[in-house]
């Protein structure tokens, strides 16, 4: 019996020792992470905050400003919750600009853009379809024939529609879609094109159709090399192709420089297909609105802001996030009773966001914010800023909604080790990545956060997958 007790005691002591070998204090977990050889030349910032005491329990270079990438989306999302409210909806009015007699409308159908990024979004399929709403509203008014034009009013925002700090090489890709006053279909279009052996465009098509958009090739013919780089020319407007090709067909999704044209075309096609409405397009119709003859046809409402933020944080949607910044900026401008939005609306939005954060007690002096999405490499901040902001947002509810309620779980976002750990569903975070940049900010545990964390890593020497794995392992060490 005495020997059995001794064996049990020895076993328990061994198990205890084994557990101690794998258990880390918060600072030990941080120290182990930053000691990795792939971070020898990197710019690294780490902070871990105890939310009950609002005190930092572990850190590494907390005041060093690093490129934030898409973790900047948590900043604009926080400000939007506080400034616009969780139940905010974008509203897009549609007007009849003309006369109605005996069911016959003569004039223009005018869709006035108000900055809603969600119109026709494939990522929010449950929202009302503005095209169907227009057709249904015409029927409700007893209109059986339309003679005139459909006009998309995209005049809300001044050019450029993209942020001036974005890299010109990003603008053609799906993640570089610009923010328009009248957006549609996520401001994206699938382009199918064929180049011949000399690099000339043999065939091109758009889905959905975008009247007025072109494909221009400046490619050279090649015997064995296919390497195409796309650029977006807003003045033509066109997708411009450069590089080399042997002559083949391509298909990809790109940013749409004229989303209003896509929406107008979609409405016109729906009118032509409507069996109970006769549509006679008038290509000579004036685009000048006549206020005296204008009447409201229908108002499209977007999903609530909470749904928009949940979607943009989950998918890291640059266009949605930057649209929120412009909406905040536009509200600031309208308060000043100005009619036309300025070209520096992004800067106005940034100042409004920083002012709101200061009012909440967050020091924004170390925040170098250029856009709402994080796509600009000029966006920088130290982890100490994120620590303050995340702590503030953990203690703030907006009509019962917290930032952590809208953030995605870590599952599959930070390497295999964390993905296979039960912690992956208990950590909510926002990732951010671009060339030589990997960042994460978030909370643990997901339902009732006790800790906030921020990890910003720039200029690592390993692969993107490897640094994600290292950060995921760090989070396991930190919270296990």
Q: Are residues 299 and 310 in the same domain?
A: no
Angle between helix axes 305-315 and 318-335 (nearest 10 degrees) is 140
pLDDT beyond 50 at 13: no
pLDDT beyond 70 at 360: yes
Cα–Cα distance for residue pair 172/168, rounded to 1 Å: 8
Residue 18 forms part of a structural domain: no
pLDDT beyond 70 at 4: no
Q: Are residues 78 and 141 in the same domain?
A: no
DSSP string, 154-200: --SSPSPSS-TTS-GGGTTBGGGPPP-SS--GGGEEEEEEEE-TTS-
Give the pLDDT confidence of 289-311 residue by residue, as tens digits.
455 579 999 999 999 999 999 99
Q: Are residues 445 and 330 in the same domain?
A: yes
pLDDT beyond 70 at 105: yes
pLDDT at site 337? 58
Average pLDDT over residues 50-75: 98
Res. 321 pLDDT band, cuts 50 70 90: very high
pLDDT beyond 70 at 147: yes
Residue 17, φ and ψ in degrees, nearest 5? -65, -40
Average pLDDT over residues 93-122: 97
Angle between helix axes 73-84 and 345-359 (nearest 10 degrees) is 70
pLDDT beyond 50 at 287: yes
Residue 112 forms part of a structural domain: yes
pLDDT at site 5? 47
pLDDT at site 282? 82
Q: Are residues 321 and 466 in the same domain?
A: yes
pLDDT at site 23? 74
- Token representation of residue 241: 């192709």
Res. 22 pLDDT band, cuts 50 70 90: low
Q: Is the peptide bond before 237 cis (omega within 30 degrees of 0)?
A: yes
Residue 383 forms part of a structural domain: yes
pLDDT at site 288? 52
pLDDT at site 340? 75
Residue 33 forms part of a structural domain: yes
pLDDT beyond 80 at 283: no
Res. 336 pLDDT band, cuts 50 70 90: low
pLDDT at site 389? 98
Res. 464 pLDDT band, cuts 50 70 90: very high
pLDDT beyond 60 at 10: no
Host domain of residue 44: 25-86+306-479
- Are residues 215 and 201 in contact, defined by beta-carbon separation less than 8 angstroms? yes
CA angle 81, 87, 91 (to 5 degrees): 105
Q: Are residues 392 and 352 in the same domain?
A: yes
Average pLDDT over residues 443-447: 96
Residue 30 forms part of a structural domain: yes
Residue 163 forms part of a structural domain: no
Q: Are residues 404 and 266 in the same domain?
A: no
Q: Are residues 314 and 420 in the same domain?
A: yes
Q: Are residues 298 and 428 in the same domain?
A: no
Name which of 169-173, 183-187, 334-338 the model is least confident about. Answer: 334-338
Among residues 246, 269, 303, the one where a domain terminates is: 303
Q: Are residues 137 and 276 in the same domain?
A: yes
We report the CATH number of the domain holding residue 385 as 3.40.710.10
**Residue 380 CB partners (closer than 8 Å, separation 6+):** 65, 66, 67, 68, 368
pLDDT at site 334? 79
Give the pLDDT confidence of 212-242 residue by residue, as tens digits.
999 999 999 999 899 999 999 999 999 999 9
We report the CATH number of the domain holding residue 290 as 3.50.80.20
Q: Are residues 356 and 282 in the same domain?
A: no
pLDDT at site 48? 98
Cα–Cα distance for residue pair 453/48, rounded to 1 Å: 4
Q: CB-hemisphere CA count at 13 Å for 275?
A: 0
Give the pLDDT confidence of 26-42 residue by residue, as tens digits.
999 999 999 999 999 99
Total domains, the chain: 3
Among residues 257, 281, 316, the one where a domain terminates is: 257
Q: Are residues 102 and 78 in the same domain?
A: no
Average pLDDT over residues 323-343: 84
Q: Are residues 55 and 95 in the same domain?
A: no
């Amino acid at each position: 019996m005495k020997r059995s007790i001794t064996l049990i005691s020895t076993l328990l002591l061994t198990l205890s020792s084994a557990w101690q070998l794998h258990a880390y204090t918060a600072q030990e977990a941080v120290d182990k992470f930053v000691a990795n050889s792939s971070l020898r030349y990197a710019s690294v910032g780490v902070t871990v905050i105890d939310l009950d005491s609002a005190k930092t329990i572990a850190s590494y270079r907390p005041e060093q400003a690093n490129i934030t990438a898409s973790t900047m989306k948590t900043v604009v999302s926080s400000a939007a919750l506080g400034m616009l409210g969780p139940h905010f909806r974008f509203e897009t009015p549609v007007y009849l600009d003309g006369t109605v007699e005996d069911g016959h409308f003569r004039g223009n159908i005018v869709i006035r853009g108000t900055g809603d990024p969600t119109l026709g979004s494939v990522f929010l399929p449950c929202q009302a379809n503005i095209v169907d709403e227009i057709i249904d509203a015409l029927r409700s008014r007893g209109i059986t024939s339309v003679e005139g034009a459909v006009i998309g009013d995209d005049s809300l925002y001044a050019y450029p529609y993209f942020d001036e700090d974005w890299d010109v090489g990003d603008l053609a890709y799906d993640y570089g879609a610009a923010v328009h006053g009248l957006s549609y279909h996520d401001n994206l279009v699938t382009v199918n094109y064929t180049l011949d052996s000399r690099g000339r465009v043999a065939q091109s098509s758009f889905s959905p159709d975008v009247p007025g958009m072109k494909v221009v090739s400046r490619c050279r013919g090649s015997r064995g090399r296919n390497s195409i780089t796309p650029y977006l020319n807003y003045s033509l407007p066109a997708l411009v192709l450069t590089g080399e090709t042997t002559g083949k067909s391509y298909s990809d999704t790109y940013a749409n420089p004229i989303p209003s044209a896509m929406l107008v075309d979609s409405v016109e096609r729906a009118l032509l297909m409507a069996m109970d409405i006769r549509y006679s397009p008038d290509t000579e119709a004036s685009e000048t609105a006549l206020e005296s003859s204008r009447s409201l046809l229908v108002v499209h409402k977007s999903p609530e802001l909470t749904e928009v933020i949940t979607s943009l944080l989950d998918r890291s949607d640059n266009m949605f996030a930057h649209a929120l910044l412009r909406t905040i900026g536009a509200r600031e401008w309208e308060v000043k009773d100005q009619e036309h939005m300025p070209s520096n609306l992004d800067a106005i939005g940034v100042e409004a966001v920083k002012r709101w954060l200061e009012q909440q007690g967050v020091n924004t002096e170390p925040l170098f914010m250029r856009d709402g999405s994080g796509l600009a490499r000029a966006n920088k901040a130290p982890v100490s800023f994120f620590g303050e902001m995340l702590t503030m947002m953990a203690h703030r509810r907006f009509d019962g909604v917290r930032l952590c309620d809208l953030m995605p779980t870590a599952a599959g976002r930070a390497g295999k080790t964390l993905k296979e750990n039960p912690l992956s569903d208990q950590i909510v975070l926002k990732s951010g990545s671009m060339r030589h940049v990997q960042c994460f900010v978030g909370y643990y545990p997901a339902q009732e956060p006790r800790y906030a964390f921020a990890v910003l890593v720039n200029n690592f020497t390993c692969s993107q997958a490897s640094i994600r794995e290292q950060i995921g392992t760090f989070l396991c060490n930190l919270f296990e």
